[in-house]
Amino acid sequence: MLTPGDPIPDFTLQTDSGASVSRAGLLGTRYVLYFYPKDDTPGCTKEACSFRDNLPDFKAIGAQVFGVSADDEGKHAKFVKKYALNFPLLADPEHAFIEACGLWLEKSMYGKKYMGIHRGTYVVDAQGQVEKVWEKVKPETHGADVLAYLKS
């Protein structure tokens, strides 16, 4: 994982609506990148809805929110529509950005090992550097937890 003070790796990713978001385009803005394993799964849905429900307060303090997973734009679009998500989801199907951020790791389920996304979050400052890191999150309250940090 990245640590506070590290620069966010360069990226340009497509959103659920087909727009492009890049590190360069976000310079001058404080933003949240939360990484999650898969669209429309129980924990990921709870986490996305937590950010959705808190988004007006993120906007009020000038912070943008982006969800990042290896799902493609089409899956993201269905997830956004199904749960009325009000922030962009970034598609990284080749997981190059996820890997560069240190969140593509070996996982284990029922004794079977596989590579996948480790749930984690970065707050990025206006200069494009990591300001705060969450290595472990509680999906149900994560949006509110990140918001509380940003307001402190």
State the pLDDT at residue 108.
Answer: 84
Q: State residue 10's pLDDT score.
A: 97
CATH number of 12-151: 3.40.30.10
Digits of tens for pLDDT over the chain (152 positions)? 999 999 999 999 999 999 999 999 999 999 999 999 999 999 999 999 999 999 999 999 999 999 999 999 999 999 999 999 999 999 999 999 999 999 998 888 788 898 889 999 999 999 999 999 999 999 999 999 999 999 99
Q: Residue 22: CA atoms inside 13 Å, Cβ hemisphere, count?
A: 5
CA distance 37 to 120: 10
pLDDT at 107: 84
Which positions are catalytic?
44
Domain boundaries, the chain: 12-151
> What whole-number distance in Å separates Cα of residue 67 and Cα of residue 70?
10
**Three-class DSSP category at 92:** coil
Pairing of β 112-117 and β 104-109: antiparallel
Spatial CA neighbour of 47 closest among 92, 99, 87, 105: 87
